Amino acid sequence: MELILFYLAAAISLGTTLMAITRTNAAHALIYFIISLLASAVIFFLVGAPFAAVLEVIVYAGAIMVLFVFVIMMLNLGEAGQRQEQAWLSLSAWIVPAILAAILLAEMVLVLSSSETPIPAQSVTPKQVGESLFGPYILAVEIASMLLLAGLVGAYHLGRRYLEETREDEGE
């Protein structure tokens, strides 16, 4: 039963991801991608990582993707943008990337093609994760905090210039 749930979630994840990379409408693509992330969250839950599953839903699908939504709203691409995307997504543009990705995939599957190792039916609780994070991984957490700070400053800097210049444009 749970195994079927895993394959179902996997199929949904693959299908929605495929849809996400082929859409011409950015908002549609984003929705497909969010569904894919939710399917991933299901898989996380199934393999015994409930904390990761929760974070996937709240932070990834919830917070990060909302940023994309904001940007799509600001740009307001519309019908013209969709036609442009249609023109760019010609069949010939797919050939080389598809071949390269297929080779890479084949190589990765070749690496993974050993006997089937079952994942033990055992959950890793948020408490364990927390102890690990603030125990041996404390340095990594500090670095991650600095990375986020850098991202914050960078995003503010780039965004501010954009806003100022836009304001000047409007003022003219």
Partner 1 sequence: MEAVSVPLEHGLVLAALLFSLGLIGVMVRRNLLFILMSLEIMLNSTALAFIMVGARWAKPDGQVMFMLILTVAAAEVAVGLGLLLQLHHRFRSLDTNAASHLRG
Partner 2 sequence: MLDLVWLVPIFPLAGFLILFTTIGKLPQPIAAAVGAGSVGLAAVVAFSAGYVFLADGMSPLTVTLYTWMNVGDFSPGLSFYVDGLTLIMMFVITGVGFLIHVYSTTNRAVFIDDEHHSRFFAYMNLFVCAMLLLVMGDNLLLLYMGWEGVGLCSYLLIGFWHDDPANGAAARKAFVVTRIGDTAMALGLFLLFLNFRTLEIQPLMAKASGTWVLGSPTLAAFLILGGAVGKSAQLPLQTWLPDAMAGPTPVSALIHAATMVTAGVYLIARTHELFLLAPVAQTAVALVGVITLLMAACTALVQTDIKRILAFSTISQIGYMFLALGVSAWSSGIFHLMTHAFFKALLFLGAGAVIFSLHHEHNILKMGGLRKRLPVAFWSFLIGSAALAAFPFTSGFYSKEPILMQAFEVSPWLWAGGLLGAFITAIYSFRLVFIVFFGEMRTEPIEPTGLSGTPWAMAIPLLILCVLAITGGWWGEPQVAAVFPEVSGEHHAGATAYITSGVPLVGIVLAYLIFLDGRLKVTALTESSLGKVLHDFWFSHWAMDWLYNALFVSPFKWVTAFNKKDILVDSIYDGTAATAAYVHTLLSQTQTGVLRFYAASMALGLVVLVAVVLGLT
Q: Which of partner 1, partner 2, none does 154 bind, CB closer than 5 to 8 A by kind?
A: partner 1
Binding mask 65-104 for partner 1 (x = CB under 8 A): --xx--xx-xx-x---x--xx--xx---xx-xxx-xxx-x
Instruction: Round to whole Å and give the CA distance between 169 and 163.
Output: 10
Instruction: Round to whole Å and give the CA distance between 62 and 39.
Output: 14
Q: Tokens at residue 45, please?
A: 């839950």
From candidates 4, 80, 96, 109, binder to partner 2 by CB under 8 A: 96
Instruction: Round to whole Å and give the CA distance between 77 and 71.
Output: 10
Residues 34/46, Cβ–Cβ less than 8 Å: no
**Span near partner 2 by CB under 8 A; candidates 43-51, 97-105, 139-147, 162-170:** 97-105
User: Considering the complex, what minimum distance in angstroms separates the CB of residue 45 from partner 2?
Assistant: 31
Instruction: Round to whole Å and give the CA distance between 115 and 106.
Output: 17
Query: What is the total count of residues that contact partner 1 (CB under 8 A)?
Result: 92
Give the nearer residue to partner 2 in terms of CB position, either 99 or 149: 99
Question: Using only C-alpha atoms, what is the Rg of the chain?
Answer: 21
Instruction: Round to whole Å and give the CA distance between 112 and 158.
Output: 42
From candidates 58, 59, 100, 152, binder to partner 2 by CB under 8 A: 100
User: Considering the complex, what minimum distance in angstroms separates the CB of residue 171 from partner 1?
Assistant: 15
* Residue 52 in contact with partner 1, rule: CB under 8 A: yes
Instruction: Round to whole Å and give the CA distance between 77 and 70.
Output: 12
From candidates 73, 79, 116, 139, binder to partner 1 by CB under 8 A: 116
